[in-house]
Chains A and B, each alone.
Chain A
Amino acid sequence: MSADSPVLQVEDLRIAFREGAAERAAVHGIGFSVAAGETLAIVGESGCGKSLTAFALLGLLPGNARARGRVRLEDHDILGLQGEAMRRLRGARIAMIFQEPMTALNPVLTVGAQIVEAIREHDAVSAAEARARAGALLARVRIPDPERRFVEYPHQLSGGMRQRVMIAMALACSPAVLVADEPTTALDVTVQAEILDLIDDLRRETGMAVVLITHDLGLVAEHADRVLVMYAGRAVETGSAASLFATPRHPYTRGLIAARPRIGSGARQRLAEIPGQVPSLGAVPRGCAFAPRCPAAGAPCRETLPLLEAAGAAAERVACLRWKDLHAPEQSPVSLDA
């Protein structure tokens, strides 16, 4: 496989929940691709479908959900893959880390034993070799004193260290893609930075692709190469992180960036907000889903569903009928204070 061809390619991914005979769509056909060594951030509010998308990549959707479309991991079509075939890919080629490392680790096994488990699940190696590799992994995720931590239980570790253990387990078989679902939400801010720096370093070392699911734009600015902004189950804007922060085109992206707290913007100033809330699954309006909350929405926005179209540089795409009107060139770019 050549270096620039994507390791993960998602086309027209649709996810719907069965409700009796009816189906209720939660993700309406999103597509993206991630190349080796690249970080793609999927950004959006709670309920926009970003976690659901991540779960679909690994075949972890709940029983009443169904995914359609195409997910290509390296040379395999993995969407809808069942049983043994999917099991062989999970952990080995695509891995995932979760929000809350305490509940994701087994409280009755030592962390060493859990990493050994992860290794031996895919590689037929001797117990001694697996232990040696697990110890090396603990050192690699920069856990201090790995020999001592190896025989400790999850409750004896701090939150940051537990997330490092989760990362070590995810990396046990050198996957091509790491999906990180809000990996630092449960951690302190200082630990957050350490964990994401660690993921960055590991990505550079191993050349794996990272899909970072988050709602934190600060993290996106610092750690992502490219960004996909989701709203109500659709991609509304995508592009490189630099251009997205410099010239956000979709009113939703602008709102998100404007709503970030900023140092030095006047202590008493109210935070900007996006009025209203994300429409619930059954109540997505006709036309643009963001129209009811959009300051720039006109009558056509409530009728016509905007499609992703190229905007500006080659990789940038936006789904908004009015982005050209809004994107006046003289407008000062939004300051990026990461």
Chain B
Amino acid sequence: MAGVLTLPATGPRRVGLLARLARRPSACIGLVLLGLVAGAGLAAPVLFPGDPLDMVGAPLQWPGTDPAFPLGTDMLGRDIAAGIAHGARISLMIGAVATLVALVIGVGIGAAAGYYGGHIEAALMRLTELFQTIPPFLFTLAIVAVLQPSIPTIVLAIGLTGWPALARLVRAEVLRLRDGELVQSSIVIGASDARIIGLHILPNVLAPVIVSASILVANAILTESSLAFLGLGDPNVVSWGAMVGAGREVIRTDWFVAAAPGLAIVAAVLALNLLGDGLNDALDLKRELR
């Protein structure tokens, strides 16, 4: 599933990493929560076949009143449980792909700036700072509003605002390695720049990048929900944020309509943050991460 995309681990190391994660209670909770969310997303087409946006029952049924709708229905008679399960697919997919976009841009810019230095670094870092001065949510909002809300534009907008912190992180890590003996010994055997960056530098900055990627996925999910809440989500797919937004109108009488998808957002974001913390410890990063 898409959520796994952001955790590439090298073959023999993966076992050790999972074992080390399992020893940390918070990371375990994170893994279990993430597993639940991802499981719901994976099982959605089986558990809730059909379009989750279809009206399937009487509106505003409280959870438990009808066994067919365990979490009740919203004011249009849509199954809230189906919305949450299908929403998990969308949220995780957007989170993962947007993070991938941010990773490609951020790692590319950070590595180039850190490795080449000089004017290239100055130009790339000024660009990064320029992006950092723009409030990220407003920037995302503006891009989506201009480009029409759809899943690709939302992914692009979130990816475009997520990379600056990553670029700075990667640049700092590359700078640390740049003048080290590893790079020098690669230079003296005649390795090309591309080889040195791809084979010797990037694999060695992977650990902090993995940690920040898990946090980036959480942020992307939150941003997508916020966009959808404001009505700038893709209207053709179900989204947790849109469900909360719709439930807002009936929050005084039927609060469960907003609360259920809200809890789903909390679970997903919390899971990824706990996992990020756990990875941070498990990968033994002594450095501070922004």
A219 and B179 alpha carbons, distance in the complex (Å): 28
A90 and B185 alpha carbons, distance in the complex (Å): 10
Q: Which residue of A lies closest to B184 (CB)?
A: A60
Main secondary structure of the interface of B (DSSP, over half): helix
Q: Which residue of B lies closest to A58 (CB)?
A: B188
Among B179, B185, B199, the most chain A Cβ lie within 10 Å of the Cβ of B185
CB distance from B16 to the nearest CB of A (A): 12
Q: Which residues of B contact A100 (CB under 8 A)?
A: 181
CB distance from B193 to the nearest CB of A (A): 9
Q: Give the bracket for the number of chain A residues in contact with chain B.
A: 20 to 34
A108 and B192 alpha carbons, distance in the complex (Å): 19
A107 and B189 alpha carbons, distance in the complex (Å): 17
CB distance from A154 to the nearest CB of B (A): 10
Q: Mark B5-16, 1 if CB is under 8 A from A, else 0.
A: 000001000000
- Whether, in the assembled complex, A158 has its beta carbon less than 8 Å from a beta carbon of chain B, the answer is no
Q: Which residue of A lies closest to B200 (CB)?
A: A106
Q: Which residues of B contact A87 (CB under 8 A)?
A: 190-192
Are A104 and B181 neighbours in the complex by a CB distance under 8 Å?
yes
Are B191 and A117 neighbours in the complex by a CB distance under 8 Å?
yes
Also in contact, A62 and B179, with CB within 8 A (given A109-B199, A121-B189)? yes
- Whether, in the assembled complex, B182 has its beta carbon less than 8 Å from a beta carbon of chain A, the answer is yes
Are B185 and A98 neighbours in the complex by a CB distance under 8 Å?
yes
A122 and B189 alpha carbons, distance in the complex (Å): 9
Are A91 and B189 neighbours in the complex by a CB distance under 8 Å?
yes
Q: Mark A82-114, 1 if CB is under 8 A from B, else 0.
A: 000001111110011111100111111100000
A72 and B179 alpha carbons, distance in the complex (Å): 26
Are A117 and B195 neighbours in the complex by a CB distance under 8 Å?
yes
- Whether, in the assembled complex, B204 has its beta carbon less than 8 Å from a beta carbon of chain A, the answer is yes
Q: Which residues of A contact B179 (CB under 8 A)?
A: 62
- Whether, in the assembled complex, B180 has its beta carbon less than 8 Å from a beta carbon of chain A, the answer is yes
Query: Which residues of B, 189-212, contact A by the 8 Å Cβ criterion?
Result: 189-192, 195, 199-200, 203-204, 206
Are B189 and A104 neighbours in the complex by a CB distance under 8 Å?
no
Q: Which residues of B contact A106 (CB under 8 A)?
A: 182, 186, 199-200, 203-204
A118 and B195 alpha carbons, distance in the complex (Å): 11
Also in contact, A90 and B188, with CB within 8 A (given A104-B181, A106-B203)? yes
Q: Which residue of A lies closest to B12 (CB)?
A: A153
- Whether, in the assembled complex, A166 has its beta carbon less than 8 Å from a beta carbon of chain B, the answer is yes
Q: Which residues of B contact A121 (CB under 8 A)?
A: 189-192, 195
Q: Which residues of B contact A63 (CB under 8 A)?
A: 117-118
User: What are the nearest 5 A-B pairs in CB distance?
Assistant: A91-B190, A91-B189, A104-B185, A104-B181, A90-B190
A: which residues have CB within 8 A of B? 58, 60, 62-63, 87-92, 95-100, 103-109, 117-118, 121-122, 166, 169-170, 172-173
